[in-house]
Amino acid sequence: MGQLLLSLSKHRGQTVKALAERMIKEALWTVDPHHLILNRLYKDGDNLVIRDELTLHLSDYRHIYLIGIGKGVAPMAAAMEEILGERLYKSRIIVKYDHGQPLNKTEVYEAGHPIPDANTLKGSQKLLELAREARADDLVFVLITGGGSALFELLPQSMGLEDLAHINSMLIASGASIDEINTVRKHLSLVKGGRLAGHISPARCVSLILSDVIGDPLESIASGPTAPDPTMFADARNILEKYNLWNKLSPQIRLIIEGKNEKVGESPGKNDPVFRKVNNIIIGNNRLALETLRTVAQDDGYKTLILTDRAEGEAREIGVFLAGLIRSAKKSGIPFSSPGCLIFGGEPTVTIKGKGKGGRNQELALAVLLALRNFDEPYYFCSVGSDGTDGPTDAAGAWIDEKTWQKVMDKNMDARIYLENNDAYHFFQAINQLIITGPTRTNVMDLIFFLV
């Protein structure tokens, strides 16, 4: 990712909670969309340099266009305006409602998220018109963040948003994975799965991407609008047949999946000529945020270990595992003795069975607490959603320490009942241990760590 241009002040001797709060603040700043652009791009005369990636000679291009897709692209667009100045010819972005901001040269369109609406189609059409306007001697920057799959969508004339919603609901109810759902969706779209790159071609295309997907697969982030698609119509049909959904589709939609709709061709693969002038560049991801957590902890004298940036699975099961690591560190000095910091990233999941309120980070913290009940040696654990929203709540996550269990006992609360009811939000609200950051304008999944 290149050298991080961030000055970290030293605060040795601060309380563990204050250190944890500073770790979170610094990590979120590192992956702030505006900061990421200014950190990775700069002008050197007539050259635009993207650190560790490429140098663009701006005089080679007639016009420079900007297209932005996702919840966090407004601050990215603001930074691009600062850098490009008068060289930016036209710019349009689409964001979630209330995620826009005043911009000088950029037209901002707002639409529904996570459910696409009529404004999704209107705004996406405006972006597509700009993409098609570009010529062979033009340069098009595409900004991509999480949320792009829902916000950027155009459908064949034989489909409506209600058809897409119905197919999506059937796939979810059938137990299809997110990758399977996206494979089907990409083959019902005019812009996903590399198709935006096809509309931009033959212009030069440089996509700057903030990843919210484990492992940073280009084809999965916002459904890969400028990335080669490794799947085909046949894969989409196989998935629909696997879950006995094929015969539940309308004849018009079956024709699309069969590749018989002349308006919807096969999604372009890695050898397609539309990608000859395309660069897809990850400028921010979960790993970058985790490395900042590590830097801040090390700066305060802690031994540190990033265990993984690809955490998946049930939050409560991961919680039991992490609780075991805390016990091991305190009792056996494995993986390190105090002072130590173990860092963990990714995106755990929650299977909802109860009727409570919460999110995966809050549920993870509650599971750790239950596994460490009556454990009174000093520790601090927290789990935070980098976008500032954990589930349908106003909290980003929650924190616990060795004093938390006594607070629970003093209030006569049954932590297990809260966990079984998926009600971690009200549990941590009652003991004043929610983490509330407000919207962060970024999303690189979850930041999880403990200090011992």
Q: Report the distance separating Cα 27 and Cα 31, nearest Å.
A: 7
The whole-model pTM stands at 0.91
Residues 99 and 195 in one domain: yes
The domain total for the chain is 2
pLDDT for the residue numbered 177: 81
**All residues at 6 or more sequence positions from 13 whose CB lies less than 8 Å from its CB, including other chains:** none
Are 318 and 416 within 8 A, CB to CB? no
CATH number of the domain within which 428 lies: 3.40.1480.10
* CB hemisphere CA count around 390 (13 angstroms): 35
Report yes or no on 6 lying in a domain: no
User: Phi and psi for 124 in degrees, rounded to 5?
Assistant: -65, -35
Residues 280 and 324 in one domain: no
Residues 201 and 90 in one domain: yes
pLDDT for the residue numbered 11: 38
Report yes or no on 3 lying in a domain: no
Q: Report the distance separating Cα 363 and Cα 38, nearest Å.
A: 35
Residues 275 and 321 in one domain: no
Q: Buried b / exposed e across 7-44, counting CB within 10 Å, b at 16+?
A: eeeeeeeeebeebbebbbebbbebbbbbbbbbbbbeee
Residues 38 and 63 in one domain: yes
**Between 315-332 and 360-371, two packed helices, what is the crossing angle to 10 degrees?**
40
pLDDT for the residue numbered 1: 31
* Tokens standing for residue 138: 């033009």
Q: Report the distance separating Cα 182 and Cα 252, nearest Å.
A: 20
Report yes or no on 2 lying in a domain: no
pLDDT for the residue numbered 250: 92
Residue 230 preceded by cis peptide, ω within 30: no
Q: In the beta sheet, which residues pair with residue 349?
A: 314
Residues 329 and 272 in one domain: no
pLDDT for the residue numbered 121: 97
pLDDT for the residue numbered 14: 57
> Consecutive sets of 10 residues in the chain, 452 residues long: mean pLDDT of each?
30 74 97 98 97 97 98 98 98 95 97 92 98 98 95 94 90 84 92 98 99 95 97 96 95 93 89 98 98 98 97 96 97 94 95 94 99 95 96 96 97 98 98 95 96 96
Are 11 and 22 within 8 A, CB to CB? yes
Residues 426 and 294 in one domain: yes
Q: In the beta sheet, which residues pair with residue 63?
A: none
Residues 110 and 146 in one domain: yes
Residues 272 and 331 in one domain: no
Q: Edge to edge, what strands does the sheet with 380-385 contain? A: 303-311, 340-346, 446-451, 380-385, 397-401, 434-435
Residues 334 and 279 in one domain: no
Range of the domain at 200: 33-154+189-231+267-284
Report yes or no on 48 lying in a domain: yes
Residues 127 and 146 in one domain: yes
pLDDT for the residue numbered 269: 96
